[in-house]
């Protein structure tokens, strides 16, 4: 009778341990890790930055040649107020630079050039904002993935060293899945995030260079228009 009770108690203990092991392996957050969730956060922030920059550049990009031609025709009629209205109604750094040049027309050529340079000092950093963040994420995301991989395999070896795993160097396969999956998830997410951020960074830098080039070309045209060169209105007209 005593032997029977002993065997029954042992079976109950083993069953409870088996249930706990299964519960541990099927936990909703099993296989992930702190680095994985940090990478998820970086993904959200990075995608928000990419979307915000893409929408901004799409809104700021205009047909600068057509815009300048319209302003030039208005200035030839000495209609400064209409030229300013066109600048206010047109988005983008070219329009804002043109407006500053028109407002500074009474100060002469040097003052117009200074006004254009001042606009450039404001607009270029605004266009380049947050791009350094994307470049940084593209560089460190694979390293974060590697860190998550190392942490995952650290968990695997920790399970192998547990004395209650049936002996040092032995463990049930299910007890090792968490560490392995954590390692794979972190590495995959880190590399994927780096690829997306690197590609987006190069694309956005190209858009910035295009806008800056338009700004420089428009600056030269603005000086000629508001100072009276090439048939534009003279600076003394108001």
Q: Where are the domains of the chain?
A: 37-231
CA distance 65 to 39: 44
The string of DSSP letters for 102-135 reads HHTGGGHHHHHHHHHHHHHHHHHHHHHTTHHHHH
More confident residue, 113 or 177: 113
CA distance 78 to 76: 5
Is the pLDDT reported for residue 168 higher than 50?
Answer: yes
When pLDDT is averaged across residues 47-51 and rounded to a whole number, the result is 97
Summarised one tens digit per residue, pLDDT across range 4-43 is 333 333 344 344 344 334 434 444 345 578 899 999 999 9
Query: What separation, in Å, do the N-terminal and C-terminal C-alpha atoms of the chain show?
Result: 114
CA distance 63 to 214: 9
Summarised one tens digit per residue, pLDDT across range 211-221 is 999 999 998 88
In this structure, are residues 99 and 87 in contact, taking their beta carbons and an 8 Å threshold?
yes
- Per the listing, tokens 């302003």 go with 71
When pLDDT is averaged across residues 133-145 and rounded to a whole number, the result is 95
The predicted structure's pLDDT at residue 1: 38
In this structure, are residues 106 and 153 in contact, taking their beta carbons and an 8 Å threshold?
no
How many C-beta atoms lie closer than 10 Å to residue 86's C-beta? 19
When pLDDT is averaged across residues 172-191 and rounded to a whole number, the result is 80
pTM of this prediction exceeds 0.85: no
Summarised one tens digit per residue, pLDDT across range 82-106 is 989 999 999 999 999 999 999 988 8
- Residue environment code for 181-205, b if the CB has 16+ CB neighbours within 10 A, otherwise e: bbbbbbbebbeebbebbbebbeebe
The predicted structure's pLDDT at residue 99: 92
Check residue 151 and give left, alpha or beta (phi > 0: left; psi -120 to 50: alpha). alpha
Looking at 87-91, 181-185, 200-204, 205-209, which range is the least confident one? 181-185
When pLDDT is averaged across residues 37-63 and rounded to a whole number, the result is 94
Distances (CA, A) of 119 to 98, 101, 186: 9, 9, 44
CA distance 78 to 80: 6
Is the pLDDT reported for residue 191 higher than 60?
Answer: yes
Is the pLDDT reported for residue 170 higher than 70?
Answer: no
Count of residues in the chain: 238
């Amino acid at each position: 009778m005593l032997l029977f009770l002993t065997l029954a108690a042992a079976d109950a203990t083993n069953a409870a341990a088996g249930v706990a092991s299964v519960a541990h392996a099927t936990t909703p957050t099993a296989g992930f890790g702190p680095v994985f969730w940090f990478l998820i956060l970086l993904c959200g922030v990075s995608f928000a930055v990419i979307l915000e920059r893409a929408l901004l550049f799409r809104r700021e990009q205009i047909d600068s040649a057509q815009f300048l031609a319209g302003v030039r025709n208005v200035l030839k009629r000495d209609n400064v107020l209409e030229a300013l209205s066109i600048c206010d109604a047109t988005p983008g750094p070219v329009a804002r630079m043109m407006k500053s040049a028109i407002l500074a027309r009474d100060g002469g050529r040097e003052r117009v050039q200074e006004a254009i340079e001042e606009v450039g000092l404001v607009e270029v950093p605004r266009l380049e904002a947050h791009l350094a963040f994307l470049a940084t994420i593209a560089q460190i995301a694979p390293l974060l993935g590697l860190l998550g991989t190392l942490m995952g395999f650290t968990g695997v070896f920790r399970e192998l060293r547990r004395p209650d795993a049936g002996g040092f160097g032995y463990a049930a396969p299910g007890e090792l899945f968490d560490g392995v999956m954590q390692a794979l998830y972190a590495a995959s997410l880190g590399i994927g995030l780096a690829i997306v951020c690197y590609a987006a960074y190069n694309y956005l830098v190209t858009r910035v260079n295009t806008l800056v080039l338009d700004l420089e070309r428009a600056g030269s045209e603005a000086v000629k228009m508001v100072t009276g060169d090439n048939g534009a209105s003279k600076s003394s007209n108001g």
